[in-house]
Amino acid sequence: MGVEAVRILARKGLPTRALVRDASRAPQDGSRSGVEIAVGDFDRPRTLDAAVAGVDTLLLISPSVPGQEIAVIDSAIGQGVQHIVKVTNHKATGDSPVDRRRDHARIEAHLKASGLAYTLLAPNLLLQNLFLVAPMIKQTRGFVMSAGDGQFGAIGSRDVSEAAVAVAAAPTGHVGRTYLLTGPELVTYADVAAELTRALGHEIAYHRVTPEQHREAMIRAGLPEPVAASNSQVFGLIAEGDAAWLSDDIATLTGRSPRSLRTFVTDHVGAFE
């Protein structure tokens, strides 16, 4: 999402500075023309001050490790940043059973106590998560998931990035607001399998498993145990209806409807062939 947000800002001709850990890895294809590259590392707070100095509005799009994002917020305070736009979770609470949601809650609390103007963007399940099961789909013509028949308002990361840019371009009207970002419809993983079947021309099966079976499958696939455990918790909650919500906030922020599951699969069908 961060990379796409920078690309959109560049296309709009807005003054933009992008933080990278390694300047040699910044794209050289011209897509960042006019973008200033700052080198820094979230794990080395002293490198952040120069990166945020002179910045009015900061887009905070990262894996949301509390120590890292809190370091960015503290640097922003010291360097005179006026507004932070943070991508968060729709149920970020300190007592959540999901550790990543507790992490978001801790960061949000620090941001709200900082005195900085802020806007929170809380997307539903990202469609890009489907890329994680693409290797299984290619090899087995199916995928496993522990979300049962739970519905979710799946959204593409490009829509989230466009919403973030819309806020960053004119932040004044968004101070203190939280926007819930979803696709245009509620879908299930059975719908995902059906759309992949349509696009690929052969059947893709959705295999329902328990959260524990899913956790073990993700570990076998190479995910660290804490990540697999957290993921299985989230998918178990989806099965219980946790993600069955929609919002019009994408249209409110961008002036157009969000992209659908069918559009996403059509655009990225090559990833699953």
pLDDT score, position 25: 67
Burial 211-240 (b: 16+ CB within 10 A, else e): beebbebbeeeebeeeebbbbbbbbbbbbe
Beta-carbon-side half-sphere exposure of residue 29 (alpha carbons within 13 Å)? 4
| Domains of the chain, each with CATH number or no CATH | 125-154+183-245+259-273 (3.90.25.10)
pLDDT score, position 28: 57
pLDDT score, position 138: 97
Q: Over the chain, what is the mean pLDDT? A: 94
Task: Give pLDDT tens digits for 150-199.
Answer: 999 999 999 999 999 999 999 999 999 999 999 999 999 999 999 999 99
Would you mind telling me the total number of residues written for the chain in this entry? 273
pLDDT score, position 24: 76
pLDDT along the chain (273 residues), means of 10: 91 92 68 81 92 96 94 97 97 93 97 98 97 95 97 98 97 97 98 98 97 94 91 95 98 97 98 97
Phi-psi region of 180 (alpha: psi -120 to 50; beta: other; left: phi over 0): beta
pLDDT score, position 23: 79
The helix or strand, by DSSP H or E, that contains position 206, with its residue range, turns out to be strand 205-208
